[in-house]
Structure 1
Amino acid sequence: MEIANSVHYVGISTNELKIFENLWELDYGVTFNSYLINGEKKALIDACPSNFFNLLKNNIEKICPIKELSYLVLNHLEPDHSEAVLNFLEDCPEIQILTTKMGANMLLNFYGVKERVKEVKEGEIIDLGGYSLKFISSPFIHWPETMMTFEETTKTLFSCDCFGGFGEIKDKIFAEENKDDILEEERYRYFVNILASYTKHIEKAIAKIETMPVSAICPSHGLIYKEPKTIIEKYKKWCGYSSGINENYIPVVASTMYGMTLKAAEKIKNIIKENGVGSELFDLSNIPPSFVLKEIYKAKGIIFLSPTYDGLLFPKTSDFLFRARAKEIKNKKVAFAGSFAWAGGALKEFEEWCKVLNWELIGSAEFKGSPEQYAEKLENLARTFLQSFEK
């Protein structure tokens, strides 16, 4: 598919993969986007996992023989973008790999590749004959070696993981034409799961991009943007969540073994909604943490519920908190309610997590067995938490 004059989308869309980075669920699939610039010299922007190489090769050869490629630009060395490098070196006798200095070190460490590698620097330009590639340093989006590539003639920015999204795309690769609600949510979930730890770096990259005459943004996953301002503004908003500019929203995040904490969680959720604040209940025992992280990231506060398990938090909750720490979801107001059968312990561990995450614990409540007899205690917890936002 030609997305600009002599710039072709040759990527792969798949629902075969069920997990990304062996960590994040892919309920709706994913794309591995690659782009062919068909100048006098031909350049491919970003590769793919090695098991998808033949599909990528077939897409390239609809435009030109793969052996005619002069350059493979690796904006990012994570294997979902670079693993097929050995296939390209074998099939393309003249190809040269373009990447950053740190990217070249990763090529050597990951794949033993050191020949036919050219290190490129910020602002350096490669002439393709009619088209030219300019390299933009963008470290820590989301690895330290990352860069973006700007094609100056068509004013197309190849942004790699920045502005990406989860989700298989069956047709309509342009965001302006594809209004699939699932893809919209998957774009935000991708941001939280993959990029949320690096918002300061993203904001620096956006400041660079906004000084450039960009006509289209082509990420390495998800949709292409012919109106760059739309996705840039979304990213500004999402980065703002990390600094406390949040939604009027308090999710209730619970885990349970036998349903007792869920009864309490349902009651707390209803009290929040009755007071005009958005709320949903998320059961970590049944909903993958990937989907719940995106909910707490945008929230102004969170109420957690967990049973005690061997004197600690239920593992579904502690695993979720570990992921929240990894994604730097910090500086939130929280409350906690915990159930137990004979002795507590979950609250103590949750308090330690609050210190790690720099969360302000507004209140807590523990209940023994069924929550019905502790209804007033739980209601007071919810109302105290709501009142903390009025100060």
Structure 2
Amino acid sequence: MVKYLVKDIDEGVKLLRLDDDRTRFFEAAWHIPEGITYNAYLIDAPGGQILVDTWKATYSDLLMEALGEVTRPGRIKYVIVNHAEPDHTGSLPAVLGEAREAKVIVNAAGEKVLRAKYRLRNEVVHVEGTRSMDLLGEEMTFIHVPWVHWPETMFTYQGRTGTLYTCDVFGSFSIPPGHSVDPGDARYLRSAEKYLITVMGYYRKHVLSAIERIDSLGLRISRIAPSHGGVWEGDVREPLRLYRAWAGAEPRSRSVSMAYVSMYGSIEAAASRIFNELSSRGIGVSATAITDSEYPDLEEFLVDANDASAIVLATPTYDTGVHPRMKFLLELMREKFRGVEKPVAAIVSYGWGSNAARYVETVLRETGMKVLAVETFRESLEEGQASRVADLIAGAIG
């Protein structure tokens, strides 16, 4: 059931959170049975009120209802737009319809999006680069972090409370039971990593640059307030550490993540042999099987692969090329793992001929991964192929 939460998170700062358990496929792409939240923040400054971000357009009426519980929307004097994507600005027209005199704080790149999409007519205050200003008695710093998602993305830092409002960055899928993140909640952390990889994996290097930028500014951050998921409170070194590790695809353990497509069993048998060879060398293996009886969420494989030391992919030939399910996975990896230098091996089966092996190797090399081997076979692996792949992987990951 869709509902909202209004919660004081500091003196004069309210979280306005919409809990969305209806959206099944975020961005019409990512399966999210865990749901998602949209977070906005209302700051009661000495000289008036400031709204940081809004909600998806679908929930505009609910946002206005939530605002109406704590203020008269016409009292809002500024709306800060950290990110112009519609899940954070969809309710902006409804807000500005009530707060007619409110000024919109955004950079030039963001203004172009807002004017094109919403025919924005309110006065705009431009903030570029890193800029600090007194806003209604609150010392606010605006930090442009281009391409952590879109080119206009920025963070906003509130000096009085030490709150860094980060929109998508440090966000998560899932609907936390409370307003803040429990750093010991493994399920939540997996959803956060899943969010980073699927939604922002293409921009990994920019996420890492943004974290370094924040470190370099020497801000006294006591809270990170994203626009999806829970609020990080207290020791914010932990989310910074986690995001560095996730964006950098740092291995958690000596392990391999395997994904394979098997139509009639030959690839499954080959994958099983490689699984056993790796296990016998003390390497942990997680396997994602796509068969005629199961089609698991590829998002989960992407998380496993991000955490693994190495990756193994196995596919049959299909219409002289790669099986369409594996082709889709490879294209996801091309986009979301670009620049990730993990060791990878691939296995390709064929009957009469195949261009699949060439395609697999090309995509993996374009991604930037270290291609250890692309083994091919007819119907069943030849003697020594499975052990050769396992030896190459063991040698690569140490």
Q: TM-score, normalised by structure 2?
A: 0.90
The one of 314, 317, 324 equivalent to 1:315 is 324
- Work out the CA distance in 2 between the residues paired with 1:365 and 1:203: 34
State the 1:363 CA deviation.
Answer: 2.3
Match of 2:341 in 1: 331
1:295 paired with 2:317, answer no
Q: Identify which of 350, 358, 366 aligns with 2:368.
A: 358
Q: Does 1:389 align with 2:389?
A: no
The separation in 1 between residues aligned to 2:40 and 2:276, in whole angstroms, is 47
Cα distance between partner residues in 1 of 2:107 and 2:26: 25
In structure 1, C-alpha distance between the alignment counterparts of 2:324 and 2:23, rounded to whole Å: 26
Match of 1:38 among 32, 41, 44: 44
2:155 to 131, 148, 156: 148
CA RMSD across the alignment: 2.0
Shift of 1:274: 1.9
SS at match of 1:123: strand
1:220-242 Cα offsets, whole Å, 9 max, x none, are: 1111111211101111222332x
Work out the CA distance in 1 between the residues paired with 2:265 and 2:75: 62
| 2:245 is aligned with 1:240 | no
Structure 1 residue runs of 4 or more that deviate by more than 3 Å after TM superposition: 244-247
Secondary structure of 1:282's partner? strand
Maintained 8 Å contact 1:334/1:361: yes
Structure 1 residue aligned with 2:12: 6
Between 17-26 and 194-203, report the one with greater CA deviation. Answer: 194-203
Matched, 1:161 2:158: no
State the Cα deviation string for residues 260-303 of structure 1 (Å, max 9, x = none): 31222122122212211121111245122222112222322211
Native 8 Å contact 1:165 1:188 kept in 2: yes
SS of the residue 2:101 aligns to: coil
Instruction: Verify: 1:184 aligned to 2:189, yes or no.
Output: yes
CA distance in 1, matches of 2:144, 2:68: 30
The answer to whether the 8 Å contact 1:72/1:98 transfers is: yes
Task: Work out the percentage of aligned pairs sharing the same amino acid.
Answer: 25
Which of the pair is proportionally richer in strand? 2
2:100 pairs with 1:93: yes
Distance in 1, matches of 2:290 and 2:152, equals 34
In the superposition, relative to structure 1, how do residues 229 and 387 fare at CA in structure 2: closer, same or farther (>3 Å)?
closer
Supply the AA of the counterpart residue of 1:191: L
Q: Please tell me whether the aligned partners of residues 47 and 83 of structure 1 are also in contact (alpha carbons under 8 angstroms).
A: yes
Task: Report if aligned partners of 2:102, 2:122 keep a CA contact under 8 Å in 1.
Answer: no
Shift of 1:24: 1.4
Q: Is residue 198 from structure 1 mapped to residue 203 from structure 2 by the alignment?
A: yes
The Cα offsets for residues 142-176 of structure 1, whole Å up to 9 and x where unpaired, read as: 1110111111111111011111111122x212114
Letter in 1 for 2:123: R
What letter is aligned with 1:185? R
- Indicate if the aligned counterparts of 1:107 and 1:114 stay in contact, CA closer than 8 A: no
1:127 to 135, 139, 142: 135
Looking at structure 2, the residues matched to 194 and 322 of structure 1 have their Cα atoms a distance apart, in angstroms, of 15
Report what 2:214 is aligned to.
Answer: 209
Tell me the CA shift for residue 318 of structure 1: 1.0
1:84 corresponding residue in structure 2: 91
The 8 Å contact of residues 308 and 338 in structure 1, kept in 2 or not, is answered as: yes
In structure 1, stretches of 5+ residues that fail to align are none
Q: What is the rounded CA distance, in whole Å, between the counterparts of 2:101 and 2:208 in structure 1?
A: 37
The aligned runs of 1:249-264 (5 Å cut-off) are 249-264=255-270
**Unpaired segments ≥5 residues, structure 2:** 1-6
